[in-house]
């Protein structure tokens, strides 16, 4: 089933989240060869970074924790390197670049470079990384959120811009964030909700210490355990945002049913992060096939028939 997103026709509604298995052209090419309907990079910085010390990831059946600290090969690698051109741009799938600069100036510089490079379909501006030591989560600070969007608006960029948000937990916080995003509805094409739940902690019973090393063991929570949080984000923002702003749902998606639930809550497209990390790029084939089977069973021919159509409790 095709989906209109960012002025593009996507051949499906499931693609990869920024983060796991998205840092190299090899990994991105594997996403391109799967049933993922688009390709999205790891969040880039102006210069390459190794990220936080190891061990910085932990996985269990129900959840994962990471404090990767933005390891990436730099913006120029993701937009300008020969390997990206050969393996990713040639796949013919829409190619989105995620950025998470150390400062607003860095984000501006990266956005300008992306707009000069050929072949990029859109920019995902990550305002929600929880793991950079000494830096707060930008989109929890409404002053910084407004200032970031004001600056982006002033650039009048020719590419669609999405912003990646952290999870919110109080309705007043959703309202404040939505109010600001709606002010910039002519600049922001879509939101991506949600990033990992920031600063969570897990302890190993064997060592009696945190399961990851950076930041005193605090890291972003993802995986099946966060799906109810992600559904709430998608549902609440679909009630609050201007309908011209699309919603990309992400968080705990590992099955066709999870994709279906995200769309019922109002998602236009759905990203898969932790499941891609654990299962590898074949997860896109499985999830897409499961989703198509559910749609067939329910007689759904167009996604618009179910988008945002969550029923009231009965």
Q: Does 248 bind ligand RRO (CB under 6 A)?
A: no
Question: Which is closer to ligand RRO, CB of 32 or CB of 220?
Answer: 220
Label residues 180-193 b or e (16+ Cβ within 10 Å = b): bbeebeebbbbbbb
Q: Which residues are catalytic?
A: 129
**CA-CA distances (angstroms) from residue 58 to 19, 132, 167, 224, 287?**
14, 17, 20, 14, 23
Distance CA 175, CA 276 (A): 31
Among 160, 162, 167, 220, binds ligand RRO (CB under 6 A): 220
Q: Does 131 bind ligand RRO (CB under 6 A)?
A: yes
Q: Which of 237, 235, 222 is nearest to 188 (CA)?
A: 237
Work out the burial of residue 156: count CB atoms within 10 Å of its CB; fewer than 13 is exposed, 13-18 middle, 19 or more buried. Answer: exposed
Residue nearest to ligand RRO (CB): 220
Q: Does 68 bind ligand RRO (CB under 6 A)?
A: yes
Question: Which is closer to ligand RRO, CB of 22 or CB of 255?
Answer: 22
Q: Does 166 bind ligand RRO (CB under 6 A)?
A: no
Among 25, 43, 233, 254, binds ligand RRO (CB under 6 A): 43
> Per CB under 6 A, which region of 60-68, 107-115, 255-263, 304-312 contacts ligand RRO?
60-68
Q: What are the phi and psi torsion angles at 91 (to 5°)?
A: -65, -20
Q: Which of 245, 256, 194, 190 is nearest to 223 (CA)?
A: 194
Q: Does 70 bind ligand RRO (CB under 6 A)?
A: yes
Q: Does 274 bind ligand RRO (CB under 6 A)?
A: no
Q: Which of 114, 237, 242, 306 is nearest to 251 (CA)?
A: 237
Provide the minimum distance between the beta carbon of 19 and ligand RRO in the complex, in angstroms, as a whole number. Answer: 6
Number of residues that bind ligand RRO (CB under 6 A): 16
Provide the minimum distance between the beta carbon of 31 and ligand RRO in the complex, in angstroms, as a whole number. Answer: 17
Q: Does 16 bind ligand RRO (CB under 6 A)?
A: no
Work out the burial of residue 302: count CB atoms within 10 Å of its CB; fewer than 13 is exposed, 13-18 middle, 19 or more buried. Answer: exposed
Q: Which positions touch ligand RRO (CB under 6 A)?
A: 19, 43, 66-70, 100, 126, 128-131, 195-196, 220
């Amino acid at each position: 089933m095709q989906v209109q997103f960012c002025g593009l026709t996507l051949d499906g509604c499931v693609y990869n989240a920024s983060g796991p298995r998205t840092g190299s052209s090899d990994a991105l090419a594997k996403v391109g060869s799967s049933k993922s309907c688009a390709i999205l990079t790891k969040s880039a910085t102006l210069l390459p970074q190794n990220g936080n010390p190891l061990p910085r990831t932990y996985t269990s059946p129900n959840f994962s924790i990471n404090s990767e600290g933005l390891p990436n090969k730099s913006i120029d690698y993701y937009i300008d390197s020969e390997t990206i051109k050969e393996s990713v741009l040639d796949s013919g799938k829409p190619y989105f670049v995620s950025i998470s600069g150390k400062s607003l100036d860095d984000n501006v510089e990266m956005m300008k470079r992306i707009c000069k490079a050929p072949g990029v379909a859109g920019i995902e501006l990550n305002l929600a990384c929880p793991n950079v030591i000494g830096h707060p989560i930008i989109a929890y600070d409404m002053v910084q959120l407004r200032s970031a969007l004001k600056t982006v608006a002033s650039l009048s960029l020719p590419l669609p811009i999405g912003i990646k948000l952290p999870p919110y937990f109080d309705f007043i916080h959703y309202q404040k964030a939505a109010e600001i995003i709606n002010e910039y509805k002519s600049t922001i094409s879509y939101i991506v909700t949600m990033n990992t739940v920031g600063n969570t902690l897990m302890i190993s019973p064997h060592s009696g210490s945190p399961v990851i090393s950076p930041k005193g063991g605090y890291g972003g929570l993802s995986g099946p355990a966060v799906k109810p949080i992600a559904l709430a984000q998608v549902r609440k923002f679909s009630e609050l945002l201007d309908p011209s702003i699309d919603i990309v749902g992400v968080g705990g998606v590992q099955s066709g049913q999870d994709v279906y639930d995200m769309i019922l809550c109002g998602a236009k497209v759905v990203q898969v992060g932790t499941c891609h990390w654990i299962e590898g790029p074949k997860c896109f084939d499985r999830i897409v096939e499961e989703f198509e089977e559910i749609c067939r069973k329910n007689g759904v021919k167009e996604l618009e028939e179910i988008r945002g159509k969550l029923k009231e409790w009965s």
